[in-house]
Amino acid sequence: AKPVDGIIVKGYDRAAPQGVGHVKVAGNYAADLLPNSLSKQQGFPIGLYLDAKTQTMVEEFSTSNFVGINVEENKFVTPKSGSVLPSITNKSLMTIAKDEGLTVEAREIPLEELETFDEVLAVGTAVVVTPVGSITMLGKDETNTKRYKFGENSEEVGAVTQRLYDKVRAIQNGEVEDKYGWNFKVT
């Protein structure tokens, strides 16, 4: 899939500390309906939420977990927060990333750290992996707007992203051995 451009959601929170953001309930998606619609009107198909308390830490995308890849440091980084849904897809990708030799870190991610990532992924059940080419933080005017671009060409899927995606899909489709015991034959 071609990378999508995201926007940092301002003025809205996806989940609150000690709320239900960490569990899969229908109400979690309701908080994103209006911000998601506004983001799409501005030309951004995906929104990135910051933490509700300080608005300084990356939390997650509208309906997907956030993953940042630092190629030079060989790192797979994803937020650790009580407000973030613990995605099975993200857990699977973390396991595969470790096996591929990446250092996996689940921790707070300061907003400023976005500029250190070579690849950014939105990960979840429906899409597995959506590559993100850029994330824009709108300012009061053009001079205050910041655009984080990922990879040398934000129009192409990064090599690590593609490798992780291919591996998880191959396991799901039974094309390679499932050494993790994730697949179950249903008869």
Q: Distance between CA atoms of 65 and 48, rounded to whole angstroms?
A: 9
Q: 53 catalytic, yes or no?
A: no
Q: Given the residues 24, 40, 53, 146, select the one marked as catalytic.
A: 24
Compute CA distances 4 → 32, 92, 115, 131, whole Å.
Answer: 18, 22, 17, 6
- With contact defined as beta carbons under 8 Å apart, do 118 and 150 qualify? yes
Q: Distance between CA atoms of 11 and 118, rounded to whole angstroms?
A: 27
Q: What is the CA radius of gyration of the chain?
A: 16
Catalytic sites, residue numbers: 24
